[in-house]
């Protein structure tokens, strides 16, 4: 087993791996949130947080839950809808297909009198 000194020399590796893993998980779930990367980085770089050991996890979970409850209460009581969607956004409404260009079926064909071969009498104009 590695000793404490060897582990301390590899704390930079723990910092980079924890942040990288957090970012990959956020990208896979589509929930990218930069402070979450900092939450993963903090225990590896800060001695006070490191000394909390596993007690750090409930602190983060409790504070996140409290913030989410406050956001839900405040925003939904102010005639806003928060969050707009929980898992997937609603599908956009499907539009009707565009009609083909040209005259509508059954419409009379319009003929340009200037291009017509017929000669109109002068008093009909």
Tell me the pLDDT tens digit for each residue of 19-46: 999 999 989 988 888 888 888 899 888 8
Q: Which of 49, 52, 41 is nearest to 17 (CA)?
A: 41
The answer on 32 and 6 residing in a single domain is: yes
Q: Is residue 97 part of a domain?
A: no
Residue 65's pLDDT is what?
93
Please give the pLDDT value at position 20. Answer: 93
State the Cα–Cα distance between residues 82 and 59, nearest whole angstrom.
Answer: 24
Determine, yes or no, domain membership for 113. no
Q: Which residues of the chain have pLDDT under 70?
A: 1-2, 85-87, 89, 102-125
9 located within any domain:
yes
Instruction: Assess if residue 109 is contained within a domain.
Output: no
pLDDT at 4: 77
What are the distances in angstroms from CA 106 to CA 19, 97, 99, 113? 67, 20, 14, 21
38 in a structural domain: yes
83 within some domain:
yes
What is the DSSP code (8-state) at residue 58?
H
Q: Which domain holds residue 24?
A: 1-45
| Residue 103 included in any domain | no
What pLDDT shows up at residue 3?
78
41 and 59 housed in the same domain: no
Domain count, the chain: 2
In a domain, 96, yes or no: no
Q: Judge if 41 and 58 occupy the same domain.
A: no
pTM: 0.54
The predicted pLDDT at position 8 comes to 81
């Amino acid at each position: 087993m590695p000793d404490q000194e060897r582990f301390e020399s590899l704390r930079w590796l723990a910092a980079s791996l924890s942040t990288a893993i957090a970012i990959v998980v956020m990208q896979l779930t589509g929930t990218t949130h930069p402070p979450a990367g900092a939450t993963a980085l903090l225990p590896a770089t800060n001695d006070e947080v490191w000394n909390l050991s596993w007690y750090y996890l409930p602190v983060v979970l409790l504070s996140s839950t409290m913030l989410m409850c406050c956001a839900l209460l405040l925003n939904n009581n102010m005639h806003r809808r928060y969050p707009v969607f929980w898992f997937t956004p609603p599908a956009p409404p499907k539009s009707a297909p565009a009609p083909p260009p040209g005259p509508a079926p059954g419409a009379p064909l319009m003929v340009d009198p200037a291009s017509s071969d017929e000669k109109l009498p002068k008093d009909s104009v």
